[in-house]
Chain A
Amino acid sequence: MKGKFEPLIIAFCCNYCPSCSADLAESAKLQYPPNIRIIKVPCIGAVGTIHILKALENGADGVCLMGCLEGNCEYSTGNFRARKRVQYVKKLLGKLSIEKERLEIYNLSAAEAHRFCKLAGEVTETVRTLGPIPLKIDNSKI
């Protein structure tokens, strides 16, 4: 890994609003960092602890969850579940001495292409400042 560190971020996007915003961003040719890899999920509540952990374990430097606006979940409480889950996983990351800032959750509507890009930029910048996930540094030393 030479040169400037470019983080890899997995963004779980609810298929309802946030994915629309992401698609809209793409169709409007709005720029968001290529570091963001989007996985569309039927509801943000369907993203489990295991998915977040596996993403980090398998090489992502950061994970973000993008759910619908509060009160606007197609399945009524999926985004609340996700918010609680993120709090729980942040605790687990604490146990592993991994920075909690590598994981974040946002609420997004279907028409916020600009905000999607802005958030994507912010997440990338946060993780870039944190550097590569400690898993990789040690791995590369071996």
Chain B
Amino acid sequence: MIVGQQKDFDEIKKMITGYSRLLVLGCQTCVAVSFAGGMREVEILASMIRMDRKMAGQDVEIVEEAILRQCDFEFLDSVKDLVADCDVVLSLACGVGVQAMAERYPDKVILPGLNTTFMGLTEEMGVWSERCAGCGDCVLDRTGGLCPIARCSKGLLNGPCGGSINGKCEISPDVDCVWQLIIDRLKALNQLEKLEEIFPIKDWSVSGHGGTRKIVREDLTA
């Protein structure tokens, strides 16, 4: 799941300066689950903007809406009229959703209300953490199901480094050293020998370093 976090209110305020008719548009899928972009957050943000404008003595008209997914063009059509009636769309979707909106409504200013943060999971209510970096070349088979690219601060493939102290990463005592976890897990699985094999140099060309990625499945295309 894509995890997002709402931008600081001051930043949003600056972004929407000068606009008086706003559509605050939520996305009810990934970023809703991380409490950044669902209808609940749309209402709260809209209320804050209204109060802020009132205090500044400026008029504002806000339409609050949320759609199932902003990353699918088909869903975007349902808000056609709302988009037409506003000066600006403040999108509470991930970067994908904001870009989809911009692509679908080329004449409209679409502003991002969130920072798209990472791909991760809900550890517990209110706590999310990163799990995958989308490198395009999965190594989890060799690392006991724990990703060193996303979860090692250095992205080391042959860890741990000298900064691993008591199972924690040197960047912070709150961050687990993923290589420690990998070793512990492989030990428990009786597969420690997997680490004997040195990881060869990884092909980063499929991870975005080789340009924007695209997948085409000939059997599915029209």
Interface of A toward B, CB cutoff 8 Å = 48-50, 53-54, 56-57, 92, 95-98, 134-135, 138-139, 141-142
Asked whether, in the complex, the Cβ of A95 is within 8 Å of the Cβ of B55, the reply is no
Chain B interface mostly helix, strand, loop or mixed?
helix
A residues near B57, Cβ cutoff 8 Å? 138-139, 141-142
* Residue ID in chain A nearest B57 by CB atoms: A138
Asked whether, in the complex, the Cβ of A95 is within 8 Å of the Cβ of B47, the reply is no
Asked whether, in the complex, the Cβ of B47 is within 8 Å of the Cβ of A53, the reply is yes
Once the chains are docked, how many angstroms separate the CA of A141 from the CA of B56? Answer: 11
Chain A interface mostly helix, strand, loop or mixed?
helix
A residues near B54, Cβ cutoff 8 Å? 57, 135, 138-139
Asked whether, in the complex, the Cβ of B47 is within 8 Å of the Cβ of A57, the reply is yes
Once the chains are docked, how many angstroms separate the CA of A97 from the CA of B56? Answer: 11
Once the chains are docked, how many angstroms separate the CA of A96 from the CA of B56? Answer: 10
Distance in angstroms from A126 CB to nearest chain B CB is 20
B residues near A92, Cβ cutoff 8 Å? 9, 44, 48
Chain B, 52-97, CB within 8 A of any chain A CB: 52, 54-57
Asked whether, in the complex, the Cβ of A50 is within 8 Å of the Cβ of B55, the reply is no
Asked whether, in the complex, the Cβ of B40 is within 8 Å of the Cβ of A50, the reply is yes
Once the chains are docked, how many angstroms separate the CA of A57 from the CA of B49? Answer: 10
Asked whether, in the complex, the Cβ of A96 is within 8 Å of the Cβ of B44, the reply is no
